[in-house]
Structure 1
């Protein structure tokens, strides 16, 4: 057993000799120092990945003695010899995390650099000056920005705020479900170029170096986990493309290509989450207020509109113009169960489409059964369409502007 092992990744101070100072990431169960692989192809992948986190010429030979990588830098928290597609380090430590993890003894005497001083001018001693002159690239590399990674979201609140998912486990569950398809997907390059490209584009560093007949080209700038995080952040926070490009240190074109690709993937793979519950399942989870007033309600419907860019064609612009929003929009019908779970999402229509038109043409009526009740607002004039399906429309009473609710309506709403 090796007693002297230090992680070779830049900004990582994990050393087997000092267990009290070791830092274990949240996705790691047991911190292990993995030996450098003997396989030549895999060793080259490891070297390429780790060299990005170091400023020196890092070039160990396959099976090099004394070169180790700790479990923090593997996506699953450990090596996966049975799956060589992910058996390489891809999780790296940021400069801010490195500074926070350093002990007070290591930070002692360290001064903050200012814009008016060069790095070697922040120290007065001759030894410090010579150390910067010997390796100036290392000092400059420490100031370079680092792409955002999911491991930086250390609190459950941060995960909910940035991704909209309830917890870290939820994010990992979604990522593991999408990863097999994400490893083989073709990135969006526009409608013409994407159709002409073959599906044999390399998706992982291992495929790129193994020479399996994939088209040659640069490796992806972000890992699949970072790409999913970027996509969820744009959906949750409505961040601009340039903002995401700055956070993840990639170009704006790469952000757009990656976002469109992952949106198409998630719409295809996660559509199974929209489940139309049976009538018995709906009644079992019916809230108490519905049990007294609307015991047979199957779902609550409404139309959702989102803004779009101005279409270039006049015909398309006329189709997407919404008189209600006074903007170009896309419109979709959304149905939820009485307890608030989304059970149906229709295809999208132009903003010009009315609510009644979408209900008739989206296929929503085919999901209803006789004697079901559908709750909607006053804008849905679909009473006759529901009667053809032997269903009933429920419109809760509401008061008009600056007028009190009628006594009969008050009695209807009393529990």
Structure 2
């Protein structure tokens, strides 16, 4: 009888512990389920958003009440588990039906929580000053950059995520990417030499060119005279950069059948440094929500989710490129 009572007490204790701490015990668990680098980093992030998150009202309730003051709703799970539910969707790619089983709530509740947290995190993280000042870039610049391109302010590249094919032929044409041979959304990402993502454009339809996305993305408005922008050879944006006093840093183009020894060395070094932005993009795409085609039903929130993943990837720590950062 005593054993049964102890087992019941143990089960009750487990029920009182937030679900996130039942699944996430080690730093490895936190990396898998949340993409934060450790429990300590997760806690720092959570403590910074908890005061404002505690006043959240569900998206559907906000829609019904509009401007009428609404009391904070009763929650079926601790607030931290709602955040965990959002992370399970984004970081691990779990589907809503699976999460409804894990969290023991209806699928509609899962959907409501995810939509609410998407809007909230986009608002909070979007208010952070991502773009680094010249002084910040210089003070955090690795020695390799100081040696080969000390004027670089940002390293840019485009990336694409595949989406469902629209039924409309005109939309198919707009979203079709020749590079991916599929319908996609395309975005521009910029990082500082230290590896932190400092610029995230909104997503555009996949047919847009690198030149046009740079023009539309508002990046040019952030640049100052003397800034260097590192990119690959496909970014033929030298003229638009010169208009704002910035310069394009790309591997030297061939002027003869063979590059000179100096140009060959410069090409190799720029390529090694530019790989940082590819690593940063890979981190963003390791949020498993991007593993499958983005459904057209997600079009309204895809920009918010993309921005959240880009910004939260900065909490994973240094890119750890040996000899560079």
Normalising by structure 2, we get a TM-score of 0.70
Mapped partners of 1:368, 1:233: distance in 2: 37
Aligned to 1:195: 63
> What's the secondary structure of 1:380's corresponding residue?
coil
Deviations 1:242-274 (Å, cap 9, x if unpaired)?
222222222333222221221111111012445
Aligned to 1:395: 250
The answer to whether the aligner puts 1:165 opposite 2:36 as a matched pair is yes
- Structure 2: which 5+ runs fail to align? 270-325
- Number of residue equivalences: 262
The answer to whether the aligner puts 1:185 opposite 2:56 as a matched pair is yes
Mapped partners of 1:412, 1:152: distance in 2: 48
Mapped partners of 1:351, 1:154: distance in 2: 40
The answer to whether the aligner puts 1:384 opposite 2:252 as a matched pair is no
Mapped partners of 1:396, 1:244: distance in 2: 47
Mapped partners of 1:346, 1:196: distance in 2: 32
Partners of 2:183 and 2:206 within 8 A in 1: yes
CA RMSD, 1 decimal: 3.1
Check 1:12–1:154 CA distance in 2 against 1; reply closer, same or farther (3 A cut): farther
Mapped partners of 1:201, 1:312: distance in 2: 40
The answer to whether the aligner puts 1:12 opposite 2:13 as a matched pair is no
Partners of 1:245 and 1:252 within 8 A in 2: yes
Deviations 1:1-52 (Å, cap 9, x if unpaired)?
xxxxxxx998435xxxxxxxxxxxxxxxxxxxxxxxxxxxxxxxxxxxxxxx
Between 381-390 and 222-231, report the one with greater CA deviation.
222-231
Partners of 1:275 and 1:343 within 8 A in 2: yes
Between 368-377 and 327-336, report the one with greater CA deviation.
327-336
Q: CA deviation at 1:164?
A: 0.8
Partners of 2:96 and 2:110 within 8 A in 1: yes
1:363 to 192, 195, 218: 218
> What's the secondary structure of 2:9's corresponding residue?
coil
Aligned to 2:263: 409
> What's the secondary structure of 2:184's corresponding residue?
strand
Deviations 1:106-152 (Å, cap 9, x if unpaired)?
xxxxxxxxxxxxxxxxxxxxxxxxxxxxxxxxxxxxxxxxx943343
Partners of 1:183 and 1:204 within 8 A in 2: no
- Structure 1: which 5+ runs fail to align? 1-7, 14-52, 55-71, 74-90, 94-146, 206-219
Q: Larger C-alpha radius of gyration, 1 or 2?
A: 1
Aligned to 1:270: 125
Aligned to 1:372: 227
Between 230-239 and 383-392, report the one with greater CA deviation.
230-239
Check 1:355–1:272 CA distance in 2 against 1; reply closer, same or farther (3 A cut): same
Mapped partners of 2:120, 2:6: distance in 1: 32
Q: How does 1:106-145 map to 2 (within 5 A)?
A: none
Give the number of the structure whose residues are more often helix, by fraction. 2
Aligned to 1:217: none
Aligned to 2:137: 282
> What's the secondary structure of 2:190's corresponding residue?
strand
Q: CA deviation at 1:299?
A: 0.7
Q: CA deviation at 1:312?
A: 5.2
Mapped partners of 2:65, 2:166: distance in 1: 27
Mapped partners of 1:289, 1:246: distance in 2: 50
Partners of 1:303 and 1:331 within 8 A in 2: yes
| Structure with bigger RCO (C-alpha 8 Å, 6+ apart) | 2
Q: How does 1:234-273 map to 2 (within 5 A)?
A: 234-273=89-128
Aligned to 1:92: 16
Normalising by structure 1, we get a TM-score of 0.56
The answer to whether the aligner puts 1:225 opposite 2:96 as a matched pair is no
Q: CA deviation at 1:341?
A: 0.5
